[in-house]
Amino acid sequence: MVALGLIIASIVAFLLSFMYYSVAPTNPSGPQSPARDSSARPEAWRIAAELLRSALVAGLMTGLLSAAAWDGAGAGAVLGTALWTLPVVLLAGSVLWEAVPAATATVHAGDWLIKLVAIGAIVGAFG
């Protein structure tokens, strides 16, 4: 059952990110990211890499839930929310030190919040 949860969480995270970025605001005056080019389909390797990233996060969250002896969708969602601090700190550093626009970092932070809570809830439900 845990493996099924990992697979479902990875696919759901991928789909949620796709939907999120299709409606998230963009910076019209800045350069367009290749990921935001709606006229082109992403290459298969990019899709595979994104699914792998989600699977790694889902595996980590499964391990953390197990180590803490937590189970259930609620516990997983709480863990996902707590883990959200990590990408927020990294994104804040990119704004502070790499001149990434705060609006761009905020959009990415929103994506990570949605993904981490969803992944946590799903793997928690299957754990």
Query: Is pLDDT of 35 > 60?
Result: no
DSSP H stretches of helix in the chain: 2-23, 44-67, 73-83, 85-98, 102-126
**pLDDT band per the 50, 70, 90 thresholds, residue 30:** low
- The span from the CA of 40 to the CA of 43, in Å, is 9
| Every domain of the chain and the residues it spans | 2-22+42-126
Q: What is the pLDDT of residues 105-116, one digit of tens each?
A: 999 999 999 999
Is there a contact between 9 and 52 (Cβ–Cβ < 8 Å)?
A: no
